[in-house]
Amino acid sequence: MSGILSRFTSLYHASSEKRHNRPFLEAAMAACAIVSASEGEVTFSERIRVDQIMETLEKLKVFDPHEGVNLFNHFTDRIIASPKQGHEEALSVIKVQAADKETAELLINLCLAVSKSDGKISLVEHIEIVSLCGLIDVDPEKIGLDTRQLFEQLTE
Protein backbone atom coordinates (compact mmCIF):
# COMPACT_ATOMS: atom_id res chain seq x y z
CA MET A 1 0.00 0.00 0.00
CA SER A 2 2.79 2.45 0.85
CA GLY A 3 4.31 1.80 -2.61
CA ILE A 4 1.11 2.88 -4.33
CA LEU A 5 0.80 5.93 -2.10
CA SER A 6 4.44 6.83 -2.70
CA ARG A 7 3.97 6.50 -6.48
CA PHE A 8 0.80 8.62 -6.35
CA THR A 9 2.57 11.29 -4.30
CA SER A 10 5.49 11.31 -6.72
CA LEU A 11 3.19 11.68 -9.73
CA TYR A 12 1.28 14.46 -7.99
CA HIS A 13 4.48 16.40 -7.24
CA ALA A 14 5.73 16.01 -10.82
CA SER A 15 2.39 17.20 -12.18
CA SER A 16 2.32 20.12 -9.76
CA GLU A 17 5.87 21.14 -10.69
CA LYS A 18 5.02 21.01 -14.40
CA ARG A 19 1.93 23.16 -13.88
CA HIS A 20 3.96 25.65 -11.84
CA ASN A 21 6.80 25.85 -14.39
CA ARG A 22 4.69 25.82 -17.58
CA PRO A 23 4.53 29.64 -17.92
CA PHE A 24 8.33 29.77 -17.64
CA LEU A 25 8.69 27.07 -20.31
CA GLU A 26 6.48 29.10 -22.64
CA ALA A 27 8.41 32.32 -21.96
CA ALA A 28 11.78 30.61 -22.39
CA MET A 29 10.78 29.11 -25.73
CA ALA A 30 9.29 32.43 -26.88
CA ALA A 31 12.50 34.28 -25.97
CA CYS A 32 14.67 31.70 -27.74
CA ALA A 33 12.38 31.90 -30.77
CA ILE A 34 12.61 35.69 -31.02
CA VAL A 35 16.38 35.49 -31.33
CA SER A 36 16.43 32.38 -33.52
CA ALA A 37 13.90 33.74 -36.00
CA SER A 38 15.44 37.21 -36.16
CA GLU A 39 17.33 36.45 -39.37
CA GLY A 40 14.40 34.75 -41.08
CA GLU A 41 15.45 31.16 -40.50
CA VAL A 42 16.37 28.94 -37.58
CA THR A 43 19.75 27.23 -37.76
CA PHE A 44 20.53 23.68 -36.70
CA SER A 45 22.94 24.96 -34.02
CA GLU A 46 20.17 27.12 -32.54
CA ARG A 47 17.85 24.10 -32.38
CA ILE A 48 20.58 22.08 -30.67
CA ARG A 49 21.07 24.90 -28.15
CA VAL A 50 17.34 24.93 -27.34
CA ASP A 51 17.55 21.16 -26.70
CA GLN A 52 20.53 21.76 -24.41
CA ILE A 53 18.62 24.43 -22.52
CA MET A 54 15.69 22.03 -22.06
CA GLU A 55 18.02 19.35 -20.68
CA THR A 56 20.10 21.66 -18.48
CA LEU A 57 17.82 24.20 -16.85
CA GLU A 58 16.32 22.77 -13.67
CA LYS A 59 12.92 24.43 -14.20
CA LEU A 60 12.65 22.81 -17.63
CA LYS A 61 13.89 19.31 -16.84
CA VAL A 62 10.39 18.29 -15.68
CA PHE A 63 9.12 18.62 -19.25
CA ASP A 64 9.48 16.25 -22.16
CA PRO A 65 11.95 18.05 -24.45
CA HIS A 66 9.50 17.61 -27.34
CA GLU A 67 7.04 19.81 -25.46
CA GLY A 68 9.57 22.64 -25.40
CA VAL A 69 10.63 22.07 -29.00
CA ASN A 70 7.00 22.17 -30.14
CA LEU A 71 6.51 25.51 -28.37
CA PHE A 72 9.76 26.83 -29.83
CA ASN A 73 8.65 25.76 -33.31
CA HIS A 74 5.25 27.38 -32.78
CA PHE A 75 6.81 30.73 -31.89
CA THR A 76 9.49 30.64 -34.61
CA ASP A 77 6.92 29.69 -37.25
CA ARG A 78 4.64 32.55 -36.17
CA ILE A 79 7.48 35.09 -36.12
CA ILE A 80 8.78 34.08 -39.54
CA ALA A 81 5.31 33.90 -41.13
CA SER A 82 4.03 37.14 -39.65
CA PRO A 83 6.81 39.08 -37.88
CA LYS A 84 4.65 41.75 -36.21
CA GLN A 85 1.97 39.41 -34.86
CA GLY A 86 4.51 36.69 -34.07
CA HIS A 87 6.63 39.10 -32.03
CA GLU A 88 3.59 40.44 -30.21
CA GLU A 89 2.46 36.92 -29.30
CA ALA A 90 5.93 35.94 -28.06
CA LEU A 91 6.37 39.19 -26.13
CA SER A 92 3.02 38.85 -24.37
CA VAL A 93 4.12 35.45 -23.05
CA ILE A 94 7.58 36.73 -22.08
CA LYS A 95 6.32 39.84 -20.27
CA VAL A 96 4.22 37.79 -17.84
CA GLN A 97 7.31 35.97 -16.59
CA ALA A 98 9.61 38.98 -16.89
CA ALA A 99 7.79 40.76 -14.07
CA ASP A 100 10.26 38.91 -11.84
CA LYS A 101 13.68 40.59 -12.36
CA GLU A 102 15.68 37.39 -11.90
CA THR A 103 13.53 35.55 -14.41
CA ALA A 104 13.80 38.43 -16.88
CA GLU A 105 17.60 38.28 -16.69
CA LEU A 106 17.52 34.50 -17.09
CA LEU A 107 15.38 34.85 -20.22
CA ILE A 108 17.92 37.29 -21.69
CA ASN A 109 20.74 34.89 -20.84
CA LEU A 110 18.86 32.15 -22.69
CA CYS A 111 18.65 34.48 -25.70
CA LEU A 112 22.39 35.04 -25.49
CA ALA A 113 23.05 31.30 -25.29
CA VAL A 114 20.97 30.69 -28.40
CA SER A 115 22.57 33.57 -30.29
CA LYS A 116 26.08 32.31 -29.48
CA SER A 117 25.26 28.77 -30.60
CA ASP A 118 26.95 29.28 -33.96
CA GLY A 119 30.02 30.90 -32.43
CA LYS A 120 29.08 34.56 -32.73
CA ILE A 121 26.24 36.98 -32.14
CA SER A 122 25.06 38.51 -35.40
CA LEU A 123 24.19 42.19 -35.51
CA VAL A 124 20.50 41.36 -36.04
CA GLU A 125 20.47 39.02 -33.02
CA HIS A 126 22.32 41.61 -30.93
CA ILE A 127 19.72 44.25 -31.81
CA GLU A 128 16.90 41.83 -31.03
CA ILE A 129 18.35 41.00 -27.61
CA VAL A 130 19.02 44.64 -26.69
CA SER A 131 15.47 45.52 -27.77
CA LEU A 132 14.09 42.71 -25.64
CA CYS A 133 16.16 44.00 -22.70
CA GLY A 134 14.43 47.37 -23.06
CA LEU A 135 10.99 45.79 -23.27
CA ILE A 136 11.42 43.69 -20.13
CA ASP A 137 13.53 46.20 -18.17
CA VAL A 138 16.88 44.39 -18.10
CA ASP A 139 20.09 46.43 -18.22
CA PRO A 140 22.02 45.00 -21.20
CA GLU A 141 25.35 46.11 -19.71
CA LYS A 142 24.66 44.11 -16.54
CA ILE A 143 24.42 40.87 -18.48
CA GLY A 144 27.43 41.55 -20.69
CA LEU A 145 25.94 43.14 -23.80
CA ASP A 146 28.07 46.01 -25.05
CA THR A 147 25.58 48.52 -26.44
CA ARG A 148 28.40 50.91 -27.47
CA GLN A 149 29.74 48.22 -29.79
CA LEU A 150 26.26 47.78 -31.23
CA PHE A 151 25.94 51.53 -31.82
CA GLU A 152 29.33 51.61 -33.55
CA GLN A 153 28.31 48.74 -35.85
CA LEU A 154 25.09 50.53 -36.73
CA THR A 155 26.83 53.81 -37.59
CA GLU A 156 29.54 52.27 -39.79
Which sequence spans correspond to the domains of the chain?
21-155
Taking the C-alpha atoms of residue 54 and residue 128, their distance in angstroms, rounded to an integer, is 22
Give the model's confidence band at 18: pLDDT under 50 very low, under 70 low, under 90 confident, else very high. Answer: low
The string of pLDDT tens digits covering residues 85-99 is: 999 999 999 999 999
The predicted structure's pLDDT at residue 145:
74
The string of pLDDT tens digits covering residues 70-129 is: 999 999 999 999 999 999 999 999 999 999 999 999 999 999 999 999 888 888 998 899
- Is the full-model pTM beyond 0.95? no
Give the model's confidence band at 2: pLDDT under 50 very low, under 70 low, under 90 confident, else very high. Answer: low
DSSP H stretches of helix in 37-140: 44-56, 65-81, 83-97, 101-115, 123-135
CATH of domain 21-155: 1.10.3680
Segment 53-74 mean pLDDT = 93
- For 17, phi and psi rounded to 5 degrees? -65, -40
- For 103, phi and psi rounded to 5 degrees? -65, -40
